[in-house]
Amino acid sequence: MQRFFMRDEPTPNEAKARATAPDSPALRLWIILSRAYHAVEAHARADFSRQGLTPGEFGALEALYHLGPLSLGTLQEKILVSSGGITWVADRLEERGLLVRSPSPTDRRVTLVRLAPDGRALMDRIFPMHREVLERALGGMPESEMSTLADALRRLGHHAAALDLPLPEHTETQGAEPT
């Protein structure tokens, strides 16, 4: 008669598999979010590229199209680029005649940016097509689910943004013998 004994400790291989397995809801969600973002973003990026725009350039044009004139700092926050990145984007769009810079009438330290007439004409032409690209990419989901998902992702974003940074450091040698 063969006896089976329960081990208290997992084998080293079992411990490693358990430690590296994406079996927590947070890890699974991160993987799903990343894959979904990259799949949809590929459609958006292809659309920007067809128009000869980078994602940052399109983001700046879209923000100005919908929000009107903004300071460079506010535009930077809206499109999530660095201060150097927003300067590069504004320079390129201004060189192409799509954006106009002007000093703020109330604060000499602030530069305002707005769409030039050619920028507005471009967005009038391409934004409806861009919306169709995104609606097609996200079309597998009913509007009610999109709304629910948008609310959940907004809460997730606010929660993650409110966390203190930096997060605890990870070390490659965690659990290793000191040398």
CATH number at residue 111: 1.10.10.10
Q: In the chain, pLDDT over 70 holds for what percent of residues?
A: 84
Domain extent, residue 54, equals: 34-132
Q: Residue 164: its pLDDT value, please?
A: 82
Q: Which amino acid is at 132?
A: E
Percent of residues, the chain, with pLDDT higher than 90: 68
Contacts of 137 (CB under 8 A, 6+ apart): 39, 40, 43, 44
Q: In the 8-state DSSP scheme, what is residue 9? A: S
**pLDDT surpassing 80 at residue 84:** yes
Is 137 contained in some domain?
no
User: Given pLDDT bands bounded at 50, 70 and 90, which one contains residue 83?
Assistant: confident
In a domain, residue 161? The reply is no
Q: Give the Å distances, CA to CA, from 93 to 31, 63, 100, 133, 154.
A: 35, 13, 8, 23, 30
What gap in Å lies between CA 147 and CA 99, rounded to an integer?
33
CB atoms within 10 A of CB 55: 17
